[in-house]
Structures are given as C-alpha cells and as structure tokens.
Structure 1
Amino acid sequence: MSAQPMPASDAASAEPAVRAASPRTLREALPVFLRHGSPRILIACVGIAVAARVAAGGWSAWDLVPLVALVLYWPIQEWGIHVFILHAKPRRVFGRTIDLRVPRKHRAHHREPWRLDILFIPMHSFLYTIPILAGVWWLVTPSASLALTGIAAHFALALHYEWVHFLVHTRVTPRNAYYQRLWKSHRRHHFKNENYWFGVTMLSGDRLLGTAPDVADVPTSPTARTLLA
C-alpha cells in the first residue's frame, strides 16, 4: 500500500519532527535510500542492463554516441517531465475532474517536502516506463549492443536522479560545488517559486528554456507548497 499524504494542517505541524528525523550524513542516508522500492528497482535494472551489455560484446567508439545523446537529452527530459507531467493540474473533462496519480503524488511531495517516503518515482510507473524505454532504445539504435548501452546509461542516470533528489530533501549538505548548485536550485523550486528551477540533476534545461532567473528577481510564490493556484 502506498503512503498517503497528510492533510495540510497536519503536515505543517509535523514538519519539524519529520525533518529532524531525516539523515544528516551520506552514511546515514544510504541505508534509508536503499529501503525504498524505486532505488532497488533501478539498481536491479542497471545491473541487468550492464550485464547484458557486457555479454553482448562488440564494444566500439559508437558506444559513446548513446552516452553523448543522453547527456544532451537528459536536462530537457527532466524539464519536460517536471513541467508537463509532475505539475499537471486537475482538469474538468465532460463534467468530470481528471487528476492523474503522478501529479497528485507530486503535489503531496511539495506539501510535505521532508517526507522521504513520497518523493521517489512512483512504483507503478515502472510497469510502463521500463518497456517503453527499452523499446525506444531498440528503435533509435542500429544494433542490440548500442541499445543496451543506451538502456544501461539511462537507468544509471535515473538512479542518480533518485539519489540526488532524495539527498536534497534530507539534512545532508553537499560539499561538491556541482551538487551544491543542484541543492540550491531544487530547494528554490520548492520554497521560493515552483514556476522555476525544474532541473534536478542537470540544470541546462532551465537555462535553455528560461526558467533559471536570478533568484533576487523572483517573487516568493504563495503556491509553492500546493502547486494549485
């Protein structure tokens, strides 16, 4: 059974205690991270894909092409999924309110940003994203070996996404300059203004698409914690 979000009033009163219980170091964070289903699935997917790629053999310089393509594509993917799927609002269709499960869970995450059990990729989404991902790589690459390179790298980046996103919502303070930038950007998205800073592990999508302004120029949004205007 999936965890249910608290009512807004309960979430606000519980927030200090929830945050105080979150990990403070990487050593504390790792076992907490590994207790959740999404990281476990992605670790398994990375392992299976890497093993399949090694078994396929035939390594060449062409294996760099899927990797470069992913690095170029990933920030746009993060931006697009965040804007159009995670932040999708309920809509009235033929008199009925359609409120999809994934954006509904993401609104709960904004309302309770320190609750670690509701910040991961929803488990049910793996039922369709894994076959779609495999199918797309098989279609866009000329060989099975290159498809496996792309699949393995894609799963690895997804696992990295989960780890970074998880850490930003703990008390772990990054020391590396790159991760400090990610930490600041995502916290601004949650606590300053939800209409900016959509990238989580790569920020070039925000720069390219105009959602990485100077923080001093951005007003604090009253709906950053609800996503509903």
Structure 2
Amino acid sequence: MVDKHFTINLNEPLVFQVGHLGEDYNEWVHQPIISKEGPRLFTNDFCEFFTRTVWWVIPLIWLPVIGWLVSISARRGLTSHQVTYALLGGVFVWTLLEYSLHRFLFHIKTKSYWANTLHYLLHGCHHKHPMDGLRLVFPPAAAAILCVPVWASFRLLSSPSTAPALFGGCLLGYVIYDVTHYYLHHGKPSKGFAQNLKKYHLNHHFRVQSLGFGITSPIWDRVFGTLPSTKAA
C-alpha cells in the first residue's frame, strides 16, 4: 500500500523513507493508522529486533537494578526512612522528566532528513501506529543510554549515599510510566482514575497532539498550561 499524497510505501521498511517527507513529516506522522500489527522499520533483521519490546521486559530488567541501587544507599548509611524519602524524591523527579521529555523532545517539530528519521525512531512510530503492542515501551538498550546523563546529574547534585536511591526512585517512576503507558493503550479499565487516564491519553493521540503530555498523571499539564479542555477530552 502506497500513501500517494506523502509518497510513503507502507509495505516497505519505513525508517529510511520518512526522512524524505521533509516539512510534510509532522502532518504525516500525526495521522494514525489503527492496527495492532506494527510496521517493519528496518530491512535488517538485527536492527528490527531491537525496535520491538514486550511490556513485561521492562519490570523484569529494571526492578532488580532498582533493588541493587537501594541496597547501595543502605550500605552507605541511609536509614530505611531516608531510603524511602529518596525513592519518593526520585519518582517525583521522574514525573517532571516524563512530562519534559514528552513535550520538548518527543514532540519536537522536524523537517530535515535525519531529524525526521531520528524522531520517527524515538516517538513518531508510536504516534503513527499507536496500537503497535511491541513498540509501546522503551527498548532497554535505548533506556540505558538515556540513563547515563540522569545518573550523572544525581551524582553531581546529591551525596554519594543518596544518589543511588534517588536514581532508583527515578527508574521506578520510569517502570511505572512504561507499564502504565502499555495499559492505557491495551487495557480496558471500566471506571475510575484508570479509565479517565486512558481517555486523557488517547485524546492526546487522536484529537489534540499538541496538549496532554502527561502519561501517568496530568499534574504537570495543569502546572504548565498544556491541559486539554474538557470539550476535547
């Protein structure tokens, strides 16, 4: 199938096609295709393998890392209460990081070949194919790369005993975010907070992509004025 208006062949690997869209890329990527079958991104099987991640891999990999980080802070002298506060502080930091990354990086407007290509890999493929269940959580290898500057910041801004637990809390926030994100797309909450959050997030995908950047909570959208109106929700 060829999208004639945008000269994209949807039956061929997409990554190295989208860059040619130029200024039309932002319009194309926000016209979602509703299908649980995701597209092929790369011709190379090795590269393609690393674009697909089942949701349960995220807690499987990162929860032991969080436990290890907490144990480091405990061995360095933090009490159980201090570890708890550091973990909660890290989760709080993550909520702001989640919002900021989604708003300012994942939704940056691009038009050059390589900027379009990188954006599509980072977040554009999710908006184009929002129900692709294997591209809803962040691949661990890519997450590990993003962890480097975050860990460096915690080391710089906090004590050697506090930094591991703070970073562990930030990772815990990330795990909650990723599994929540998967649930909002494929879960079927019938009432309450989860149902409202699902409506809120799907509104971002299908109606107002320029608002509603919170995933686990709309709190920072309220603070920074990016909360969609109730009429659009």
Count residues in correspondence: 192
Residue 135 to residue 100, structure 1, CA distance change in 2 (3 Å): farther
What root-mean-square deviation, in Å, do the aligned CA atoms of Structure 1 and Structure 2 show?
Answer: 3.1
Q: Aligned partners of 1:199 and 1:40: how far apart in 2?
A: 24
Q: TM-score, normalised by structure 2?
A: 0.68
Preserved contact between residue 42 and residue 158 of structure 1 (Cα < 8 Å): no
Match of 1:134 among 146, 151, 163: 151
Are 1:33 and 2:89 matched, yes or no? no
Residue 129 to residue 57, structure 1, CA distance change in 2 (3 Å): same
Are 1:119 and 2:136 matched, yes or no? yes
User: Percent sequence identity over matched residues?
Assistant: 22
Q: Deviations over 1:107-137 (max 9, x none)?
A: 1111111111112224443343222222211
Equivalent position amino acid for 1:78 in 2: E
Q: TM-score, normalised by structure 1?
A: 0.69
Equivalent position amino acid for 1:85 in 2: L
**Structure 2: runs of 5+ lacking an equivalent:** 1-12, 18-27, 39-53
Preserved contact between residue 90 and residue 100 of structure 1 (Cα < 8 Å): no
Residue 103 to residue 124, structure 1, CA distance change in 2 (3 Å): farther
Are 1:98 and 2:115 matched, yes or no? yes
Map of 1:198 onto structure 2: 213
SS in 2 for 1:186: helix
Q: Aligned partners of 1:45 and 1:71: how far apart in 2?
A: 15
Equivalent position amino acid for 1:43 in 2: L
Q: Aligned partners of 2:94 and 2:143: how far apart in 1?
A: 18
Map of 1:51 onto structure 2: 71
**Structure 1: runs of 5+ lacking an equivalent:** 20-31, 220-229
Preserved contact between residue 77 and residue 161 of structure 2 (Cα < 8 Å): yes
Map of 1:213 onto structure 2: 228
Q: Aligned partners of 1:176 and 1:155: how far apart in 2?
A: 28
Offset, 1:192: 1.6
